[in-house]
Structure 1
């Protein structure tokens, strides 16, 4: 993942909790789980609390 980046898409603060949605965007290089994925672009969201 030579070019991975992420942005905070949503950030919610309601003390004592903080929640956010991170949007990741990257291009795979080499292999992933034994499969050739070189050059495949992947975008996904992750929720964190």
Structure 2
């Protein structure tokens, strides 16, 4: 859909590349780590850039 609307090049220009996520317990021990490639999805952009 984004390609048909011609938005893909602009979104690729401002994409963040994803953000890694780390889930910790109350003692600060890592329970789960998700790399940026997994957590970001296909295209991730900041809300301000999308608006």
TM-score by length of 1: 0.29
TM-score by length of 2: 0.29
Q: Which has the higher strand share?
A: 1
